[in-house]
């Protein structure tokens, strides 16, 4: 009875604390959600323009991202919506295939978003959570810098009133400057004023600065009648929700979109997971890459079926959500609800947004990537300088889509080069202990007389195994050891080419009467080599340490010497 009373009293004292904590979380999420709605709605409309799609495409993608990821995703800070990079890639893709045919561009866009969603789901089923690693950080940062320049330049026609016909960036800029005498200085004044307002309001994260600037722009536009000065407005936004449909495209078009979807998946997930992982590290949260692959897959599939934009967790929106005080994923749902209210009540006003204001929203969103600090670390470290600069130039010279493909190609080439040209380290004993370290990094290690101990510094596979074994053969010829220890700790598994090459190498050493021990073998490799070498081989397999292999060889040589004596 006393214990029950104590528990009851304890529950009574704890309940207000828990209730207060829950209330504070809800309040923080409410403030963050309202703040994010004021940013996301203008960005959704603006990114639709980058993609060459109607304004509602970005809004539909926004709803799909906020609702689906909020239900399925892991990160409590991620805001999944259209991003500037995915919008630019989508626009470049559909333009290259459909040209000026707006109906075909819309169908191709929906098809690419659906294919991207399926690509995410397949990656999740295959548990490819590390897929974002296929785009290295230098490539991604160089691409983002070049993309930001491209996006900013392509927004200038909305501000200046000059609309170049060229697609290539340098010719685009040339035509833009050629029309300098005809620039619309009213639009330039509005765009510049909006950017200055964004800069000022950025100090207060919980104030929906984008919404306030747009509201001011609409008010000024109606008061002055800016259309009389040649400034365009957003125009009609049709948000009528039709039944989800798959676009009617040919087989060849679907195949083309499937290939491009791979690039979109890599880009979106690399960008998204950089933001998600950064927030997780900052707040000590757990991450689940494979779960997020499924969440992004379903979100993009839903967005594509409703003819929305490709969506991911953009860095700027995710950071803004955290800065606004979000404490759980409910802030995304609150943002979706507020956007729905804004669209329901103020859609006619949103249609009156001046184009220069919308261009300022986009420029402000990508401005954080336009800093030379992106390049500084690589020049300080003297690593990947060519890669980061080349990735930037690829976007500027070849366009967004081809620049992205060049960037991915550079990433894959870097990976293959590193794997196919691995360093082979020669090991020595550290003091009198049991540790064996590389000679190149530890000049004081001791070499064991008559033994050669080597370790490939990358997993062995078909493209590098022969090169590694040629290197080791050269070392054997120079040192003429009685025994060789080959540490295989970097190889979790082996392909057929590697197994065949290792068997030939083992037979060569046996013919030369050189004792060979393969050590640090993972279980799959141990079983595979045991089967491949057979019972009659003199090659020894060791799952333990390098020290165990050295002890084994020393014991065998001692026995051999005693027999000879």
pTM metric for this prediction: 0.71
* Confidence bin at 538 (pLDDT 50/70/90): confident
Give tens-digit pLDDT for 25-48.
788 888 888 888 878 888 888 889
Tell me the domains of the chain and their CATH numbers: 2-417 (no CATH), 424-564 (3.30.750.24)
Is pLDDT above 80 for 448?
yes
Secondary structure of 457-499 in the HEC alphabet? CCCCCCCCHHHHHHHHHHHHHHHCCCEEEEECCCCCCCCHHHH
pLDDT at 419: 67
Give tens-digit pLDDT for 240-263.
767 889 999 999 999 999 989 988
Burial of 414 (0-12, 13-18, 19+ CB in 10 A): middle
Is pLDDT above 90 for 520?
yes
pLDDT at 108: 95
| Contact call for residues 76 and 276 (beta carbons, < 8 A) | no
Give tens-digit pLDDT for 358-408.
889 888 888 878 888 889 999 988 888 888 999 899 989 988 878 878 877
pLDDT at 206: 67
Rounded Cα distance between 202 and 35, Å, is 12
**96, 287, 481, 514, 543 from 505: Cα distances, Å:** 52, 43, 15, 11, 19
* Confidence bin at 9 (pLDDT 50/70/90): very low
Rounded Cα distance between 183 and 192, Å, is 14
Which range has highest mean pLDDT (102-116, 190-204, 343-357)?
102-116
* Confidence bin at 443 (pLDDT 50/70/90): confident
Average pLDDT of span 10-37:
67
Phi, psi of 455 (to 5 degrees): -145, 120
Where is 519: in which H helix or E strand?
Answer: strand 515-519
pLDDT at 137: 82
Give tens-digit pLDDT for 48-100.
988 989 888 999 999 999 999 989 998 989 999 998 889 988 998 898 888 88
Give tens-digit pLDDT for 477-489.
999 998 999 999 9
| More confident call, 465 vs 405 | 465
Give tens-digit pLDDT for 498-516.
999 999 999 999 999 899 9
**Is the alpha carbon torsion for 170, 171, 172, 173 positive or negative?**
positive
Secondary structure of 315-332 in the HEC alphabet? HHHHHHHHHCCCCCCHHH
């Amino acid at each position: 009875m006393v214990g029950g009373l104590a528990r009851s009293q304890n529950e009574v004292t704890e309940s207000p604390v828990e209730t207060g904590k829950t209330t504070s979380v809800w309040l923080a999420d409410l403030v963050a959600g309202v703040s994010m709605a004021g940013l996301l709605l203008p960005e959704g409309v603006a990114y639709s323009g980058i993609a060459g799609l109607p304004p509602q495409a970005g809004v539909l993608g926004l709803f799909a991202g906020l609702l689906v990821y909020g239900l399925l995703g892991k990160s409590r800070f991620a805001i999944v919506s259209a991003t500037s990079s995915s919008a630019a890639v989508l626009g470049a893709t559909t333009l290259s295939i459909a040209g000026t045919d707006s109906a075909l561009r819309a169908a191709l866009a929906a098809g690419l978003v659906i294919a991207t969603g399926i690509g995410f789901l397949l990656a999740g089923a295959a548990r490819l959570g590390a897929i974002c690693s296929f785009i290295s950080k230098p490539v991604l940062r160089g691409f983002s810098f070049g993309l930001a320049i491209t996006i900013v330049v392509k927004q200038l026609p909305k501000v200046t009133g000059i609309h170049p016909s060229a697609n290539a960036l340098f010719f685009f800029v040339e035509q833009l400057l050629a029309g300098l005498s005809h620039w619309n200085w009213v639009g330039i004044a509005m765009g510049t004023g909006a950017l200055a307002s964004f800069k000022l309001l950025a100090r207060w994260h919980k104030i929906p600065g984008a919404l306030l600037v747009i509201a001011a722009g609409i008010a000024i536009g109606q008061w002055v009648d800016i259309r009389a000065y040649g400034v365009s407005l957003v125009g009609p936004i049709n948000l009528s929700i039709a039944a989800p449909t798959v676009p009617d495209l040919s087989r060849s078009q679907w195949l083309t979109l499937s290939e491009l979807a791979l690039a979109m998946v890599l880009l979106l997930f690399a960008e998204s997971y950089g933001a998600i992982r950064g927030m997780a590290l900052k707040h000590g949260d757990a991450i689940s890459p494979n779960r997020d692959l499924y969440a992004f897959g379903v979100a993009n599939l839903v967005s594509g079926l409703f003819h929305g934009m490709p969506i991911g967790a953009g860095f700027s929106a995710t950071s803004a959500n955290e800065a606004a005080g979000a404490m759980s994923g409910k802030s995304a749902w609150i943002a979706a609800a507020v956007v729905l209210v804004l669209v329901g009540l103020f859609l006619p006003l949103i249609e009156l947004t001046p184009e220069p204001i919308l261009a300022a929203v986009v420029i402000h969103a990508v401005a954080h990537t336009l800093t030379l600090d992106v390049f500084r670390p690589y020049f300080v470290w003297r690593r990947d300088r060519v890669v980061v600069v080349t990735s930037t130039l690829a976007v500027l010279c070849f366009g967004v889509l081809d620049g992205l493909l060049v960037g991915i190609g550079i990433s894959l080439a870097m990976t293959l080069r590193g794997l196919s040209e691995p360093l082979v380290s020669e090991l020595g004993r550290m003091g009198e202990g049991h540790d064996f370290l590389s000679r190149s990094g530890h000049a004081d290690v001791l070499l064991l007389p008559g033994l050669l101990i080597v370790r490939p510094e990358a997993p062995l596979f078909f493209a590098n195994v022969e090169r590694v074994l040629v290197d080791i053969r050269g070392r054997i010829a120079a040192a003429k050891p009685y025994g060789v220890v080959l540490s295989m700790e970097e190889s979790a598994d082996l392909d057929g080419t590697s197994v065949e090459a290792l068997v030939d190498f083992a037979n060569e050493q046996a013919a030369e009467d050189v004792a060979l021990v393969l050590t640090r073998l993972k279980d799959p490799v141990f079983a595979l080599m045991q089967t491949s070498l057979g019972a009659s081989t003199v090659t020894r397999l060791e799952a333990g340490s390098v020290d165990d292999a050295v002890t084994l060889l020393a014991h065998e040589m001692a026995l051999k010497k005693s027999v000879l004596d």
